[in-house]
Amino acid sequence: MPNMYGALITSLLAAGTLAMQGCSFEASDFSGRWEGRSIGVNSIGDTGSIQTLELAADDHGRLRGSIAWREAVGKDFELDKVRDDAEDLIGLADFTNGSFVLVETEESGTLVGRILSDRKVELLRTQPGIQPVVTASTLERIDD
């Protein structure tokens, strides 16, 4: 795993315990759309996709939204086949440090994230069970 992703995973796992001095966030910082590439591993093997995270936050830090992914998985006779999926999410944001935790409403996935200062979000997704998956991504804001 490239060092960049090792650092991403380490920072995401520590996000809940880190406090950014003199920094605070608002609901609007957590509301929006972000998109980017992810790397991951699942029960079949190594994976990668384009992820799109969409969130809406209220003034108490409650989050609602969705995560979608798409990836090319091979070619048809003339066209690329594309696999995709989307999951509805609920969660909570921490306005003191920019971190958040989300859970999928229909499956067992959990997402831990952190807002970065450069219009980006770091995101780590885990889903245990019969078809486990773990992904890591840095997503860029695309809504404005």
Please state the three-class secondary structure of 60-91 as a single string: CCEEEEEEEEEEEEEECCCCEEEEEEEEEEEE
pTM beyond 0.85: no
pLDDT for 47 equals: 85
Is residue 84 over pLDDT 80? yes
Q: What is the pLDDT of residues 28-49, one digit of tens each?
A: 999 999 999 999 998 888 888 9
The token pair at 19 is 């406090």
Q: Tell me the C-alpha distance between 125 and 131, whole Å.
A: 14
Is residue 6 over pLDDT 50? yes
Residues of the chain with pLDDT > 90: what percent? 65
Q: What is the domain class of 3-141 according to CATH?
A: mainly beta
Q: What is the pLDDT of residues 124-138, one digit of tens each?
A: 999 999 889 999 999
Radius of gyration of the chain (CA): 15
State the amino acid at position 94 in one-letter form: D
Decide: helix, strand or coil at residue 141: strand
The token pair at 86 is 């989307």
Q: Tell me the C-alpha distance between 9 and 103, whole Å.
A: 18
Decide: helix, strand or coil at residue 93: strand
**Which distant-in-sequence residues (6+ apart) come within 8 Å of 48 by Cβ?**
37, 38, 39, 40, 71
* β-sheet bridge partners, residue 91: 63, 102
